[in-house]
Amino acid sequence: MAQYSLTVNNKTYQIEADARMPLLWVIREIIGLTGTKYGCGIAQCGACTVHLNGNPVRSCSIPVSAANNQKIITIEGLSADNSHPVQQAWIMEQVPQCGYCQSGQILAAAHLLSRNPNPTDADIDRAMMGHICRCGTYPRIRKAIKTAARLMQQKASVK
């Protein structure tokens, strides 16, 4: 067991954990944020995706020791008031079915759009292919990413 300092959603936590404990379980069971999901444990499904220093990573496969003193954003911290354009677009396009994978999908989409404000279908395929949706919401995710891109452009032009 060792001490770690993690900044999750702009709040710093001092925690004690086994060095090899995956960041996923630290976030879910020590910090207590359950929006980050367990799906496979081997970085295949993307349900556990969080942003680590701004990049999407699979929290199931990162030991807590590797996240010490780093900045993590989970689905709960994607926006201060839940109004991130990707979240809005997910509602507008009625994406979720069971909803279990959507935290990871949304974080992947938000990262894609932060780097590429106008993604093509091929860009979307590349950015999202690490994420499994067992309910088959893929066509709606694709539409919602394009809708979010438009929302972000509108927001930018208002500013």
Partner 1 sequence: MKTALTRRDFMKVSTLAGGGLLLSFQTGNALAALLPKDAEVFQPNAFVSISPEGLITIMAPNPEVGQGVKTSLPMLVAEELDADWTMVRVEQAGLDTRNFQRQVAGGSGSVRSSWESFRKAGATARQMLLEAAAQKWGVPVSECITRNGFVIHQPTGKTLNYGALATAASGLEVPQEVKLKDPKDYNLIGRRMVNVDAWNIVTGKMPFGLDTRREGMLTAMVARPTFGKKLKSVDDTRAKQVKGVKQVIVFDNKVAILATNTWAAKKGRDALRLEWEAEGTPESTENYNTAFAELIKNTTQEPKRNDGDVNQALSQADKVLESVFYAPFLPHAPLEPMNFFAHVREDGAELYGPTQTPARTRTEAARVLGLPEEKITVGMSRMGGGFGRRLQADYSVEAARISKLAGVPVLVVWTREDDMQGGYYRPAGMYRYRAALKNNQLTGWHLIAAAANSANASRENSFPAGVVPNFRVDSHNYQSPITVGPWRAPNHNFIAFAEESFLDEIALELGKDPVAFRLELLEQAKTNPVGHVAYDPTRYINVIKTAAEMGNWGQQGVKGIFKGFGAHFSFGTYVAQVADVSVQNGKVKVHKVYCAVDCGRVINLSGAETQIEGGIIDGIGHMLYGEITFKSGEVEQKNFNTYRLIRMPDAPEIEVRFINTNAEPQGLGEPGLPPIGAAVANAIFAATGSRIYRLPVRLPGEHSKRSF
Q: Which residues of the shown chain bind partner 1 in the complex (CB under 8 A)?
A: 1, 18, 21-22, 25, 28-30, 32-42, 44-45, 47, 74-76, 78, 82, 87, 90-91, 94-103, 106, 124-125, 128-142
Shortest distance (Å) from residue 31 CB to partner 1: 12
| H helix or E strand, kind and range, residue 17 | strand 11-17
State which residue, 137 or 147, has the beta carbon closest to partner 1.
137
Reduce the DSSP state of residue 4 to 3 states and report it: strand
State which residue, 115 or 126, has the beta carbon closest to partner 1.
126
Shortest distance (Å) from residue 110 CB to partner 1: 11
Q: In what order do the strands lie in the sheet with 71-73?
A: 11-17, 2-8, 71-73, 49-52, 55-58
State which residue, 42 or 159, has the beta carbon closest to partner 1.
42
Shortest distance (Å) from residue 52 CB to partner 1: 16
Say how far apart CA 143 and CA 149 lie, in whole Å: 10
State which residue, 136 or 159, has the beta carbon closest to partner 1.
136
Say how far apart CA 67 and CA 5 lie, in whole Å: 8
State which residue, 90 or 159, has the beta carbon closest to partner 1.
90
Shortest distance (Å) from residue 73 CB to partner 1: 11
Q: 51-87: string of b/e by CB count within 10 Å (b at 16+)?
A: bbeeebbbbbbbebeebeeeebbbbebbeeeeebbbb
Say how far apart CA 126 and CA 8 lie, in whole Å: 27
Shortest distance (Å) from residue 155 CB to partner 1: 18
